[in-house]
Structure 1
Amino acid sequence: MGLAAGAVAGAVFRQVWKLTAGDGDAPNPTDEDRRWVEILAAAALQGAIFSVVRAAVDRGGAVGVRRITGQWPD
């Protein structure tokens, strides 16, 4: 499930980046033509999206385990 969450988070990030920055590609941290603000904003946005997707997948998995077994996973 972790790989699927990472793939979903990456796809969501790319779409959000296109909408917010108007640029198709997120900046690479070592791209000397990009400004610090742009690189750090992209990293913060990517981290936030990954965290939300990961939390949703973890929570969904726990709910599924509870439905199947009747107990909340540790």
Structure 2
Amino acid sequence: MKGAKIAYKPVGLVLGAVSGMIAGAAFRQTWKLIEGEGDAPDALDEGRPWGQILLAAAVQGAVFSVVKAAVERSGAQVTRRVTGTWPA
């Protein structure tokens, strides 16, 4: 069981990087739907109102969390199918 955990570590790192790229793209598309703008505001974006900045941060956090959970869960399921053990 411990070997499966160790073997999964590099897979988990790759999946984390992939999930970050997917989440970034998903957030950009989601923001375009919400605000109709190309770029989401940054916390230091002086010309944007508080509400818009906080909305962007909340949406970004939700999108990243959902994508990360979906990618990690899928990776764990594939690992169980291949090795017969759950990686965590």
TM-score (norm: length of structure 1):
0.96
Q: Which runs of 5+ in 1 are unaligned?
A: none
Q: Give the Cα separation in 2 of the matches to 1:57 and 1:39.
A: 27
AA at the equivalent of 1:48: A
Return the structure number with greater relative CO, CA threshold 8 A, min gap 6.
Answer: 2
1:55 aligns with 2:38: no
Q: Give the Cα separation in 2 of the matches to 1:40 and 1:29.
A: 8
Q: Give the Cα separation in 1 of the matches to 2:26 and 2:46.
A: 25
Report the CA distance between 1:31 and its aligned residue. Answer: 1.1
Aligned length in residues: 74
Largest Rg, 1 or 2:
2
What is the Cα-based RMSD across aligned positions, in Å? 0.7
- More helix as a share of residues: 2
TM-score (norm: length of structure 2):
0.81
